[in-house]
Amino acid sequence: MSSTDHGVDRDRPLDPKTRRTWLVAATGGGAAGGLLIALIVFSGGSGRAGLAGLLAGLAFGAAAGAAYGVGSAALDTVRGRPVGNSRLWSGGALFGLAFVCTIMLAGIGG
């Protein structure tokens, strides 16, 4: 078996909705985290508050990306379109990242 293994084509790039899942997470986390950090810096907040803002932004972005990935996979399944496993794995990984960021945020008292 050259480029396929058990029916999975390893040379095929990620589908557009999987890439969009990661893009939603990155832009959401960057925008929310950047905005929160900017507000904290300009209000004279501490480094601890800045870290809390960064973690909150990352948790928001990861949760938004996970919701988009899993939601679009569910809609495509209902519509009868094929859904790659990479989109589901991406949604699960982003959900895990949002969970870990939330636990870290609670740990620092944010």
DSSP string, 4-47: EETTEETTSPPPHHHHHHHHHHHHHHHHHHHHHHHHHHHTT--H
Contact by Cβ (8 Å): 69, 94? yes
Q: How many domains does one find in the chain?
A: 1
Cα angle 27-38-22, degrees, rounded to a multiple of 5 = 10
The answer as to whether 84 is a domain residue is: yes
Please write the tens of the pLDDT for every residue from 43-83. 998 889 999 999 999 999 999 999 999 999 999 999 998 88
Residue 5 lies in a domain: no
Q: Do the domain assignments include residue 6?
A: no
Percent of the chain's residues with pLDDT above 70: 86
CB neighbour class for 82 (10 Å; exposed up to 12, middle 13-18, buried from 19): exposed
Mean pLDDT of 81-102: 92
Give, as one character, the DSSP assignment of residue 56: H
Instruction: Judge whether residue 108 has pLDDT over 60.
Output: yes
Residue 61 belongs to some domain of the structure: yes
pLDDT band at 110 (very low <50, low <70, confident <90, very high): low
In a domain, 1, yes or no: no
Q: How far apart are CA 60 and CA 31, in angstroms?
A: 10
Please tell me the pTM assigned to this model: 0.81
Domain-located, residue 39: yes
What is residue 55's predicted lDDT score, i.e. its pLDDT?
93
